[in-house]
Amino acid sequence: MTRQLALLLLLAALPLAGCGKMKEKIPFLKSKAAATPALVVAAAPVATPRPKPAPAAPVRPAIDTNAQVVVLCYHRLEGKAGGGLSIEPALFEKQMEAIKEAGLAVISMQDFLAWRRGEKNIPPKSVLITIDDGYVSGFDVGVPILKKYGFPATFFIYTNFVNSGGKTMTWAQLKKLRDDGFEIGCHTVSHQDLRRKPSKWAGDYESYLKEELETSKKILEDKLGIRCVTIAYPFGLHNAAVHAAVEAAGYEAAFSTYGARLGHGVSPFTLGRYDVTAKMPGTQQVFDVAINFTGMAAPSDGPAMAQDAAVAMITEPMNNTATTDSTPLIKANLASFGEFDPGSVEMRVGSLGLVPAKFDAATQMIEYKVDKALREGSYSVIVTVKVGGQPREARWTFYYNTIGEVPEPAAPVTPATKPVRKPGKK
C-alpha cells in the first residue's frame, strides 16, 4: 500500500475514531490540527490518475535546531491568599493573553521532548507552561484559563502532597487533568533538597535519592496509568550526583528554576525555567524577559562549551537590557553552577576588570555596586567559579546610557552570511 493511500485511509477513519470528541477535550489539539494542512495536500495525488507516484522519502522531519524554548514556572494561582508563591488569577490570565498577543507557540511537553529527540519540529519561539507542587488552584483557576487559550501545560506533582487536604489536588483531579490532555510530571515524594539527605532519613544518600526519584515516579505512573518522564527539582536545586540519579531513574528531562532560553543542545538535566510567581520585585520583568526571548541562553552540552559555559541564571541588570543608572548594582544568583568552591568566585566587568564583588554562600548571590560612574556603552559581566578544580564561567551583557535603551546593532546581519545548521545535527 502506498503511503499516500494509507494517509487517505487514516484521514477517512479519523471521524470514526472519535477524534472530534478528543479535540473537544483537548482544546490545544484544535489549533494543531488546523495548522497541518500539509496532511491533506499529501493525500491529494491519490485522487489523480497518475499510475506511479514517486515513493515517499523516509519520514525524517526537518528539525529546527535553532528553535528556542522558554519555560514558565507557576505555583499557586490564588492571589494574596496564596502567599509568596502565588499569582493573582487575573495576572495569570493577562500573561496568557500576552503570550497569545506575541504570537508565540505554547507547545506540549510531549512536543518538546519529541523535538529534543529529533522526531518533531517546533516553532522557532516556543513556550512551555508548567505549574508546580499540586495546589488545587492550578486545577480550579489554571485549567479554565489554559483551556480558554487552548494552551497545554505540565503539572509537576510531589506525591506526599496529593490528597493531603486543604488546598491540595486530589487523585481524582489529577486523573481529570490527565484526561484533559495535560502532562503530569514528577516533583519528588517529599519536596526536599535532593543534593543532601535530610537528617531524619535513616538510610544512606543513595536510598534517599531512590525514594525521591523512583518511588514518586512509580506512584504517579501506577495511580494515573501514565508514563512519567519529566521531573522538576524541588526549589530548583540540583548537582551532578542528582543528574546521574535522575537519569538512572529513567527521566528524559529535568527542570530547574533558573530561567534561560533553551536551545536544542542543552543538557536534559538542567533545563531552566523562569519562575514567574515568586513575589519579588521584578517578577513581571522576568515574565517579559522570558516571552521576549531576551534572557540568557542556556549552555549547550557540546564538548566545546564545557569549559566556557554561560550558565543559566537570573541577573541584574538582565542580559541585553539597558540601565540609566551610571553606578548600577550588578547581581547574579549562582545556584545554577551547582556545587562549587565558594572561595573561587570572581566577577569581572568589561573595562573595569576584576571587581571586589561580594558573594553570599547562603543565598548564592554575588553582587557588586559600581562605585565610579560608568561611561555610556556596553558592559560584559563574567562570573567564574571552580567546580572540582575546573573553571566554569557565566557571562552576560548590559548597556548603560542616559536613554535606557539597547542600541540598534551597527550593521544589520545578512541572513545569507549566517551559518546554516544541518537538521538532526547537534
* Near Zn ion by CB under 5 A: residue from 78, 111, 133, 183: 133
Q: Measured from the CB of residue 139, what is the shortest distance to Zn ion in angstroms?
A: 16
CB-wise, 93 or 132, nearer to Zn ion? 132
Report yes or no: 350 and 381 within 8 Å, Cβ to Cβ: yes
- Candidates 51-59, 124-132, 161-169, 378-386; binding stretch for Zn ion (CB under 5 A): 124-132
Choose the stretch contacting Zn ion; rule: CB under 5 A; options: 1-9, 125-133, 144-152, 380-388: 125-133
Distance of closest approach, residue 390 Cβ to Zn ion, in angstroms: 30
Query: 2-6 long-range contacts, Cβ below 8 Å, gap at least 24?
Result: 2/46, 2/53, 2/55, 2/56, 3/55, 3/56, 4/42, 4/43, 4/45, 4/46, 4/53, 4/56, 5/46
Stretch that binds Zn ion, among 23-31, 117-125, 133-141, 324-332 (CB under 5 A): 133-141
Looking only at the bridges linking them, the beta strands covering 274-275 and 68-74 are: parallel
DSSP character for 97? Answer: H
Q: Measured from the CB of residue 256, what is the shortest distance to Zn ion in angstroms?
A: 11
Name the segment binding Zn ion (CB under 5 A); options: 130-138, 236-244, 287-295, 360-368. Answer: 130-138
For Zn ion, the closer CB: 255 or 337 = 255
Q: Do 131 and 184 contact (CB within 8 A), yes or no?
A: no
Can you tell me the distance from the alpha carbon of 267 to that of 144, in angstroms, rounded to the nearest whole number?
33
Question: Which of 11, 67, 16 shows the shortest CA–CA distance to 42?
Answer: 11
List binders of Zn ion among 32-91 (CB under 5 A).
none
CB of 237 to Zn ion, least distance (A): 11
Q: Which is nearer to Zn ion, 133 or 288 (CB)?
A: 133
Nearer to Zn ion, 242 or 347 (CB): 242
**CB of residue 148 vs Zn ion: minimum separation in angstroms?**
25
Nearer to Zn ion, 132 or 252 (CB): 132
Q: CA-CA distances (angstroms) from residue 156 to 75, 133, 229, 335, 413?
A: 9, 6, 11, 21, 40
Asked if 212 touches Zn ion (CB under 5 A), the answer is: no
Of residues 188 through 207, those in contact with Zn ion by CB under 5 A are none
C-beta of 194 vs 289, nearer to Zn ion: 194
Give the start-end residues of each E strand in 296-352.
315-316, 321-323, 329-333, 346-349
- DSSP class of 56: P
Cell of residue 58, nine digits: 523516509
Minimal distance, residue 166 CB to Zn ion, in Å: 16
Closest residue to bound Zn ion by CB = 132
Comparing CB distances to Zn ion, the nearer of 194 and 357 is 194
Q: Is the peptide bond before 317 cis (omega within 30 degrees of 0)?
A: yes
Which window, 24-32, 128-136, 201-209, 332-340, contacts Zn ion (CB under 5 A)? 128-136
User: Which H or E element spans position 9?
Assistant: helix 3-13
Here the contacts of 350-359 (C-beta below 8 Å, separation 24 or greater) are: 350/378, 350/379, 350/380, 350/381, 351/375, 351/377, 351/379, 352/379, 357/330, 359/334
Q: Which helix (H) or strand (E) holds 68?
A: strand 68-74
CA 168/CA 221 separation, integer angstroms: 19
Binding to Zn ion by residue 275, rule CB under 5 A?
no
- Is residue 132 close enough to count as binding Zn ion by CB under 5 A? yes
For the bound state, the minimum distance from the C-beta of residue 168 to Zn ion, rounded and expressed in Å, comes to 12
Residue closer to Zn ion by CB (options 74, 400) is 74
To Zn ion, the closest distance from the beta carbon of 132 in angstroms equals 4
| Residues in a beta bridge with 72 | 129, 274
Q: Which is nearer to Zn ion, 108 or 256 (CB)?
A: 256
In the complex, what is the shortest distance from the CB of residue 133 to Zn ion, in angstroms, rounded to a whole number? 4
Task: Candidates 3-11, 21-29, 46-54, 129-137: pick the segment binding Zn ion (CB under 5 A).
Answer: 129-137
**In the complex, least distance from residue 339 CB atom to Zn ion, rounded to whole angstroms:** 21
| Smaller CB separation from Zn ion, 236 or 299 | 236
CB atoms within 10 A of CB 397: 17
Task: Closer to Zn ion by CB, 73 or 290: give it.
Answer: 73
Q: Cβ of residue 109: shortest distance to Zn ion, in angstroms?
A: 17
Q: Which of 131-139, 298-306, 310-318, 367-375 is the region at the interface with Zn ion (rule: CB under 5 A)?
A: 131-139
171: left (phi over 0), alpha (psi -120 to 50) or beta: alpha
Q: Would you tell me which residues interact with Zn ion (CB under 5 A)? A: 132-133
